[in-house]
Structure 1
């Protein structure tokens, strides 16, 4: 990944927070016919491990021991050059895109253990149902149905070998331009613009704390 120094994020707490807030990841590996990508919600269970599950027919279910690249996609958005005060002064600005992304390098282990899988499903379900008025639990389904579903999937445990974080959030611009981007996002108020602005502000605050 192209990673200029100003966009390089290395703080574990910041990286882990994004991985937990945006758990739907892309897993890339070399398959029999070349590169393949699968999209899987993953759980960061420790500094060194990601857990998830896939259908038995998925390439990942047959990839025990494979080296993988896991990509976590955070919030992103278009940035207009008209938002920069410097553009109105010199005209020397161009459009860009702000975003946060994490690349995790690791090795995949296929897990067949039914108890392991059951615990994973319960954790994932409890986490993602927590905001529902009446959260659904795995135990709400008939036991024979759950057992049948468990036989159709396998677990994946990805041992983390390294993490790269790229938070491209206008850090390479002067304060006035960054303020202009925040103002532009607020005025546009499109899908996820508020999230992007919040991440920009949070990253700026953390930068000054260093």
Structure 2
């Protein structure tokens, strides 16, 4: 990822918060079949390893897990809020006109080598934790215990789990830090006034 120092985020807690907030990550690898990408929810265990460990699972029918099993480096992309930035939001436009459109965003890239596993108990623990996390906001949260055991066993046989100890983390918080305070405030106010919740979310992340 192109990472100018102005936009570089090195705070591990902030990086972990963004990974945890990412509902659907992109897992990318390169192997004999070329580039492979899968989109999936992941579980971050912060205390495992120097930068934490990511856990997830793939369908056994998905050939991507075989690429992971080769032990080559993989990339996980956790995209945060993003927003188009119009030049019209900059006070500098009225002053000198030397402004152009851009895109502001938050993104985290995590790198490492995956360990594949298909132990039933380990898989059950993973899917239970993932389900509990994403069901927490439901009025009546669903649990893996709600499914018939024989059905659950068949589902577990149809997936392959992986653990990805993070060996390198990159965070990019491109929030207009290269602009004047007045230009940043103009952007933040325009985003706060937007009808798009994603724009307002990004505005809330801007610290001027």
The reply to whether TM is greater than 0.5 is yes
Q: How many residues align?
A: 202
Superposed counterparts of 1:140-155, under 5 Å? 140-155=146-161
Shift of 1:66: 2.8
CA distance in 2, matches of 1:23, 1:109: 22
Shift of 1:25: 1.0
CA distance in 2, matches of 1:94, 1:197: 19
Report if aligned partners of 2:36, 2:64 keep a CA contact under 8 Å in 1.
no
Shift of 1:186: 2.0
Report if aligned partners of 1:104, 1:160 keep a CA contact under 8 Å in 2.
yes
Q: Which residue matches 2:80?
A: 74
SS at match of 2:114: strand
Shift of 1:188: 2.4
Shift of 1:187: 2.3
Superposed counterparts of 1:39-118, under 5 Å? 39-46=39-46, 47-62=51-66, 63-64=68-69, 65-118=71-124
CA distance in 1, matches of 2:94, 2:73: 48
CA distance in 2, matches of 1:187, 1:42: 32
Identify the structure with the greater helix proportion. 1
Q: Which residue matches 1:207?
A: none
Report if aligned partners of 2:31, 2:72 keep a CA contact under 8 Å in 1.
no
Shift of 1:189: 2.4
Superposed counterparts of 1:1-210, under 5 Å? 1-46=1-46, 47-62=51-66, 63-64=68-69, 65-201=71-207, 204=208
SS at match of 1:93: coil
Structure 2, unmatched stretches of 5+, are none
CA distance in 2, matches of 1:114, 1:66: 25
CA distance in 2, matches of 1:150, 1:190: 38
TM-score by length of 2: 0.93
Structure 1 residue runs of 4 or more that deviate by more than 6 Å after TM superposition: none
TM-score by length of 1: 0.93
SS at match of 2:205: helix
